[in-house]
Structure 1
Amino acid sequence: MQNKKYSIEDALAGLNIEALNEMQVASIEANKTHNNVLLLSATGSGKTLAFLLPVLEGLDYSNTKSTQALIIVPSRELALQIEQVLRSMRTGVKITCCYGGHLRETEEKNLVQPPAILIGTPGRLSDHIRRGNITIDTITTLVLDEFDKSLEAGFQDEISFIIDSLPGIQKRILTSATEAVEVPDFVKFDEPHKLNFLSEEDAENNRLAIKTVISEDKDKIEALFRLICFLGNRLTIVFCNHREAVERTSSLLSERGITNVFYHGSMEQRDRDSALCKFRNGTVNILVTTDLAARGLDIPHIRYIIHYHLPHTEDIFTHRNGRTARMEASGTAILLLSREEKVPAYVTQIEEEITLPEEVELPEKPKWTTFFIAAGKKDKVNKVDIVGFFTNKGQLKKEDIGLIEVKDFSSFVAIRKSKASTTLNLVKNEKIKNQKVKIEIAK
């Protein structure tokens, strides 16, 4: 298979990265000589790029009208994250992302012209294969990203069906942030070449401080409120064990004046997108969530992880904490304990117990508001269009426009809060790209 030269330099330029790290270089070299590669590396260490570059180097660029590589992931958020990285890498090939939570028919239209690289969650990919929407015969490369998480989530049957449906697989790449995964026989992962960079976790743990806070009440909401006030206006994720607890905790914090959003697997896709966009763009600094957010979400600069409920396992504890202290940054994980709760045996390096003051002040309110626009990529709307729209029709300066995220059929824009009301009145009846679309404050 003769490839045109794929430029790693172009990929790095698109991602604003100066050089690859040791793990990424090792992955590229290993994939040149081995058909089965197992990549073990800590959360936040750059595994996505470590498998995408070998995938891109392995494409037949003379035949990009057929699907050559399939990337299976455990969550829609991870699928969308990988898609975004690929699009930033200036690949020049078609990429399609398939996941539950939005219309299957939209994906079916995208699959009529097969993408060179297909990314998706197990359930939705299985559905498309059964309906004959995917050109399975041409797929030669299979990536199972966060494979241990897919097994934990119960996707074994779907992944087994997908792999059994692919007759032409020549290369398999599996990634994981934990070594405690047994690869089932159906993966056909014979004599894999293992790249184990999990020792990087030692350095990560040195940057991660673990602390405790004791709640005098069994219901810990008052202690959580005072802890958030004590920590100040920093990006913080609060982990609960159940969806009902997430919504209750978020509501009680809101009643006390803490601006926050909640996030869990039963939410509609638009609501999930909105919550994460608000957290990323500075509209809120507190995200209350289940363990859905413990893996796959790449949100930089998270300073604090609060374990409102103790994690059920050490593995969950590790991955929750992996949202902070990423790459060269530092972070703090805080276990919020009632008097009846004990620190789990696997937590061995507690730095200190935080004593909360009796009197606290509410953190400073965020300076951004998120606008929702009912138009996106499929409507031919992009970030440049949105900036132009708000500077012209909304009379904003560029510094009053923050992070913009464009989805398939919607977009989210951070607008400086002091300008939000005036801006909404100016733009709500205007057209963007000659289209009259709903524009409102994101719910």
Structure 2
Amino acid sequence: MQTNFSTEQILANLNIDALNAMQEASMETNAGNNDVVLLSATGSGKTLAFLLPILQRLDFSRKHQTQALIIAPSRELALQIEKVFKQMGTGLKITCCYGGHLRETEENNLQQPPAVITGTPGRLADHIRRGNIQTDTIETLVLDEFDKSVELGFQEEMSFVIGSLPAINKRILTSATPAVEIPAFIGLQNETVLDFLPDQPVSERLALKKVLSPDKDKIDTLFRLICALGNRPTIVFCNHRESVERVSELLAEKGIPNEFYHGAMEQRDRDSALCKFRNGTAFLLITTDLAARGLDIPFIRYIIHYHLPATKDIFTHRNGRTARMEASGTAILLLSGEEKIPAYIEEDVEEMMLPDTVELPEKTKWTTLFIAAGKKDKVNKIDIVGFLSQKGQLKKEDIGLIEVKDFFSFAAIRKSKASTTLHLVQQHKIKNKKVKIEVAK
């Protein structure tokens, strides 16, 4: 096989000094022809652990044929895989396919087959049925977070997609959950299991605490808890979409800005919420278990279980958003008088006492601009920084995280500069195009 990359150069492109033990084991084991099941904790680097073996198997001389398919349970995880692959700088094309935006955009990207395709089961099945994906050249199949993908509701689509791949000779499955039954339709053959899950049920870097609410409706206790924690990056998990929006609205009424996030939202709104949480415009994200997997949000300090997770697996994945790699974090169970610690939590849980009086957390210093231009308009981060610096008269320290999507972008800027900057840039063009710019909703 011909390749056109080096692992050293890829790691340099990703600003990584060296592979960790799990990634090295995955590289070594996947060098053989056997199928591999990789079990490793959330945040341990599984994406790179399967992307590098994929690259080892790709024939660069056939780069205009699709050779690998990566199936992910959520659009956010699929987009994260695409982002890492592009950052690796191999020169190979990847296309991401997921619901919630125009299928025609993906169809255009698939006209010249990419070397790698990643996506969600439903959208991938749709493209295969329409003949948009060249399936007979795909030899490598990856199921990322396979336990979630094969849950009820995904089975039929997963079975169809995998059954449409006649040339598969290599399967890589990843999960952060042990002892999940693997359906026969996946077709594993003489698989090797790499188990890098920690022995202890909760990471030593993760503190587990509980807060008792005197009321069945725990919103007042949640408010006091957030005030006590301050403006550290925090995720609040609820079990239902309706609860997410109710909690978000009630906290906002009490003076705590926040973003909410769930599966029924439009893709642009989901992107906006996550971007504002990542860039510091909001320190608080209210969400369903959709955010428990696959989201790349570093430095989350607190996880609050407003509703108790139904299973140990959900509990583990929620908590996996914090205490990632070498960082520490705290998971907090919020309990009403009639709620008990779930039986699957075996360790002692320390009670956290809230102060009698609380003050609202300090307001964030950032706001987020929505810019109606993105990658498809040939706009990149450098263009946006230059535009905001020159036309918006912002200094380097006034510009925060910038995220460029296909058709729009988000840019964090100092809140104190927002009004002046918006006024200054309104009459100017980006890449010779008049573009709508406003504070992101």
Q: What residue is the counterpart of 2:153 in the other structure?
A: 154
Segment of structure 1 superposing worse, 429-438 or 240-249: 429-438
Distance in 1 (CA, whole Å) between partners of 2:5 and 2:38 is 22
When normalised by structure 2's length, the TM-score is 0.98
How far 1:399 sits from its partner (Å)? 1.1
Q: What residue is the counterpart of 2:56 in the other structure?
A: 57
Distance in 1 (CA, whole Å) between partners of 2:372 and 2:28 is 44
Asked whether 1:255 is paired with 2:289, we answer no
How far 1:233 sits from its partner (Å)? 1.1
Residue identity in the other structure for 2:11: L
How far 1:358 sits from its partner (Å)? 1.8
How far 1:13 sits from its partner (Å)? 0.7
Distance in 1 (CA, whole Å) between partners of 2:243 and 2:125 is 32
Q: Determine what percentage of the aligned residue pairs are the same residue.
A: 73
Is the Cα–Cα contact under 8 Å of residues 41 and 177 in structure 1 kept in the other structure? Answer: yes
Asked whether 1:172 is paired with 2:203, we answer no
In the TM superposition, 1:16-415 aligns within 5 A as 16-152=15-151, 154-199=153-198, 202=200, 205-415=203-413
How far 1:151 sits from its partner (Å)? 1.7
How far 1:351 sits from its partner (Å)? 4.3
Distance in 1 (CA, whole Å) between partners of 2:15 and 2:203 is 26
How far 1:137 sits from its partner (Å)? 1.0
**Relative to structure 1, is the Cα distance of residues 156 and 239 closer, same or farther in structure 2, using a 3 angstrom cutoff?**
same
Is the Cα–Cα contact under 8 Å of residues 4 and 90 in structure 2 kept in the other structure? Answer: no
Q: What residue is the counterpart of 1:421 in the other structure?
A: 419
How far 1:350 sits from its partner (Å)? 3.4
Residue identity in the other structure for 2:315: F
SS of the aligned residue for 2:172 comes to strand
Is the Cα–Cα contact under 8 Å of residues 373 and 437 in structure 1 kept in the other structure? Answer: yes
Segment of structure 1 superposing worse, 262-271 or 34-43: 34-43
Residue identity in the other structure for 2:294: G
Is the Cα–Cα contact under 8 Å of residues 303 and 325 in structure 1 kept in the other structure? Answer: yes
SS of the aligned residue for 1:107 comes to helix
Distance in 1 (CA, whole Å) between partners of 2:220 and 2:189 is 53
Distance in 2 (CA, whole Å) between partners of 1:125 and 1:156 is 13
Is the Cα–Cα contact under 8 Å of residues 371 and 441 in structure 1 kept in the other structure? Answer: yes
SS of the aligned residue for 2:62 comes to coil
How far 1:153 sits from its partner (Å)? 5.3
Is the Cα–Cα contact under 8 Å of residues 246 and 289 in structure 1 kept in the other structure? Answer: yes
Could you report, residue by residue, the CA deviation over 1:260-319 in whole angstroms, capped at 9, with x for unpaired residues?
Answer: 000000000000000000000000000000000011112110000000000111110010
Distance in 1 (CA, whole Å) between partners of 2:10 and 2:18 is 10
Is the Cα–Cα contact under 8 Å of residues 3 and 56 in structure 2 kept in the other structure? Answer: no
How far 1:35 sits from its partner (Å)? 2.8
Residue identity in the other structure for 2:364: P
Distance in 2 (CA, whole Å) between partners of 1:102 and 1:429 is 30
Residue identity in the other structure for 1:267: M
Could you report, residue by residue, the CA deviation over 1:326-385 in whole angstroms, capped at 9, with x for unpaired residues?
Answer: 001110000000011111111122342111112101110111000001110011100010
Is the Cα–Cα contact under 8 Å of residues 3 and 58 in structure 1 kept in the other structure? Answer: no
Residue identity in the other structure for 1:227: L
In the TM superposition, 1:5-20 aligns within 5 A as 6-20=5-19
CA RMSD of aligned residues (A): 1.0
How far 1:185 sits from its partner (Å)? 1.0
When normalised by structure 1's length, the TM-score is 0.98
How far 1:204 sits from its partner (Å)? 6.0
Where in structure 2 are there 5+ consecutive unaligned residues? none
SS of the aligned residue for 2:160 comes to helix
Residue identity in the other structure for 2:181: E
Is the Cα–Cα contact under 8 Å of residues 324 and 332 in structure 1 kept in the other structure? Answer: yes
Is the Cα–Cα contact under 8 Å of residues 212 and 350 in structure 1 kept in the other structure? Answer: no
**Relative to structure 1, is the Cα distance of residues 3 and 203 closer, same or farther in structure 2, using a 3 angstrom cutoff?**
farther
Where in structure 1 are there 5+ consecutive unaligned residues? none
Distance in 2 (CA, whole Å) between partners of 1:345 and 1:65 is 52
Aligned residues: 441
How far 1:320 sits from its partner (Å)? 0.3
How far 1:4 sits from its partner (Å)? 2.7
Distance in 2 (CA, whole Å) between partners of 1:431 and 1:246 is 38
Is the Cα–Cα contact under 8 Å of residues 6 and 57 in structure 1 kept in the other structure? Answer: no
Could you report, residue by residue, the CA deviation over 1:96-146 in whole angstroms, capped at 9, with x for unpaired residues?
Answer: 100000000000000001100101100000000000001111111100000
Is the Cα–Cα contact under 8 Å of residues 128 and 134 in structure 1 kept in the other structure? Answer: yes
Distance in 1 (CA, whole Å) between partners of 2:192 and 2:410 is 42
Distance in 1 (CA, whole Å) between partners of 2:152 and 2:110 is 26
Residue identity in the other structure for 1:20: L
Residue identity in the other structure for 2:56: E
Distance in 2 (CA, whole Å) between partners of 1:49 and 1:349 is 33
Distance in 2 (CA, whole Å) between partners of 1:240 and 1:152 is 20
